[in-house]
Amino acid sequence: MATLADSFLQDLEDLEEEHDDGEEPAAAKKKSKGKGQKGLLDGGDDSDDDIPDAIAVFEQGEKSGSSSVSEMLKNEEFQKLMDEVRERKDEQPALELGKQLSEEDTEYPLITRCNSLVREIDEEMLNIHRFVRDIYSKKFPELESIVVSPLDYLQVVQRIGNTKDLTTIDFSDILPNTAVMAITVTASMTAGNILPRQELDKMMVACDEAFLLNDCKRDVLLYLESRMSGLAPNLSALLGAALAAKLITSAGGLLNLARMPAQNIMLVGSTKKALLGMATSAYHTQGIIMFSDLILSTPLEFRNRAVKLVAGKCGLAARVDSFHESPLGQVGTQLREKILQSLAKAQEPPPAKQKKTLPPPEDKPRAKRGGKRHRRIKEKYGQTEFKKLVNRVKFGVDAEENIYTEDWGLGIPFFEGKPMVNKAQKVSKEKQLQQHIKAQKRQRSAAAAGNESGLSSSLAFTPVQGIELANPNAARKAPDVGEKYFSTSAGFVNLSTPMRL
């Protein structure tokens, strides 16, 4: 991009050339000394309008958008390389069956140059993104944190421009709905200012150049994709030609990819992806191999395992291709089958528990333990004769109720068809009723007797009359005259306290 100093130097060089070509004698100039000096500078013309103003020329060039931001698009070598790539993009390589591209082929240097060219185009696009971001941050500084991808950022900036109401602009083909909502809400609260026309035009030119570089990158990738079957057949069989071309160019070539460990291959070409909404982190980094069909078709809970498997097998396939072995891609096909089998096995449900049958009992006679100790244990835990009689039940005979056998856990035991009851436990109902009546009488007499407490009552419950009101003092005998002081139950009374000596 031309600066103000460069424009001044160019103007001075133009003036010197005009002075050398159209120099005339000083006598032919105007009489005025000042006008004569001006005439020497402008080559004989006495008008001041013919002298170009460097500042005006620079501002006019900036306004017209003639200044370019990208230096790569001005490079003739880059243009020639792109023309050659576009010519050979649709051509198929003339390779014999079972052969692979080697360093001796005439097209191999072009493929190697294209691998590095993709990275150079990416760097140039990042420079343009920084240039546009520095200018547009005056109007919408929050846009950088919402849209992280450089190409998406440039597309959004080109559509917004100086527009204030973003609800009239459609971003659905560029960004997800969450990002569109975030941009709309943030733009309504931003503190940015409207850009001048000069800076806005410069920014739009930079966006167009970035899109042009992206088209060039796409052409280079299409060319490399058409040559992947000859350059890296096993890696193409594993990932596909398009993804293999992107992976090789991001790694800087097939040899660099073959030297990488698997944990580095997972991060090749990683880009930041904005996570909006309820995400725990603001960004998520993912490499190129995340776009493989092997990983995208795997459920989320097994995706980390799939990434590790694909990254490891990509390193193996790249090493096979770097040694020019298996030109038909058989190793890549086998590696792909192994990945699919491993993922399918990991997703299988665990086997159900099988019910194991008990082993058959051993019917062989064997020696049993005997002796005094064994006989005592057998008598202690053995079944008694009483339990044997309890277990004997006659079927077809109605049982009689017996409340004394409920503790055994059985309904009604029978011994030869008749219930057997202990004589000590056989009590008639009449005796139980008599004992109950005697107990109630004892309670009533105790309530009516001498020592009264706060819990005693004159009400008594009888089985015949129900509630009976009794006077506890009626049956009490009147005390004699001397009973109070001379009673055998009376104690000593101290009439006075003893005197202290």
Tell me: pLDDT of 352 over 90. Answer: no
Residue 389 CA to residue 71 CA, distance in Å, equals 112
Q: ∠ at Cα 19 (16, 20), nearest 5°?
A: 90
The average pLDDT across 372-382 equals: 85
* Measured distance between the N- and C-terminal CA atoms of the chain, rounded to whole angstroms: 129
Which of 33-37, 301-305, 464-468 is the most confident on average?
Answer: 301-305
Query: How many Å apart are CA 120 and CA 186, to the nearest integer?
Result: 34
Three-state DSSP class for 263? helix
Q: How far apart are CA 212 and CA 207, in angstroms?
A: 9
Task: Determine the average pLDDT of the residues in 79-97.
Answer: 77
What is the rounded CA–CA span in Å between residue 326 and residue 126? 38
Rounded to whole angstroms, how far apart are CA atoms 137 and 305? 41
pLDDT tens column, 255-302: 889 999 999 999 888 776 555 444 444 445 678 888 898 998 899 899
Q: Per the structure block, which two tokens stand in for 299?
A: 């459920």
pLDDT score of 277: 46
The amino acid at residue 275 is L
- Give residue 277's identity as a one-letter amino acid code: G
- The pLDDT of residue 45 is above 70: no
* Higher pLDDT pick, 38 / 247: 247
Q: What is the DSSP letter of 464?
A: T
Backbone phi and psi for residue 468, each to the nearest 5 degrees, phi listed first: -125, 130
Chain-centroid distance of CA 25 in Å reads: 85
Is the predicted pLDDT of residue 56 greater than 90, yes or no? no
Residue 109 has pLDDT above 50, yes or no: yes
Its sign, for the CA torsion 275, 281, 285, 291, is negative
* pLDDT > 70 fraction of the chain, expressed in percent and rounded: 63
For residue 26, name the pLDDT band (cuts at 50, 70, 90): very low
Q: How many Cβ atoms from other residues are within 10 Å of residue 329's Cβ?
A: 21
What is the Cα–Cα distance from 418 to 399, expressed in whole angstroms? 8
Question: Quick one: 262 exposed, middle or buried, by C-beta within 10 A (0-12, 13-18, 19+)?
Answer: middle
Residue 413: is its pLDDT beyond 60?
no
Query: pLDDT digit string (tens) for 428-456?
Result: 677 788 888 888 888 777 665 555 555 55
Residues with Cβ < 8 Å from 56, sequence gap 6 or more? Answer: none
Closest CA to 219 of 118, 129, 125, 151: 118
Residue matched to tokens 């001041």: 48
**What pLDDT was estimated at residue 379?**
83
The rounded mean pLDDT for the chain is 75
Task: Tell me the pLDDT tens digit for each residue of 180-234.
Answer: 898 988 888 888 888 899 889 999 999 999 999 999 999 988 888 888 888 888 9
Q: Angle CA(137)–CA(142)–CA(144) in degrees, nearest 5?
A: 75
3 state SS of 383: coil
User: pTM, whole model, 2 decimals?
Assistant: 0.51
DSSP 285: E
* pLDDT, position 317: 93
d(CA 442, CA 460): 11
Q: pLDDT band at 86, cuts 50/70/90? A: confident
More confident residue, 109 or 417: 109
Residues in the chain: 501
For β-strands 459-462 and 271-274, DSSP reports them as unpaired
Question: What local confidence, expressed as pLDDT, does residue 307 receive?
Answer: 92
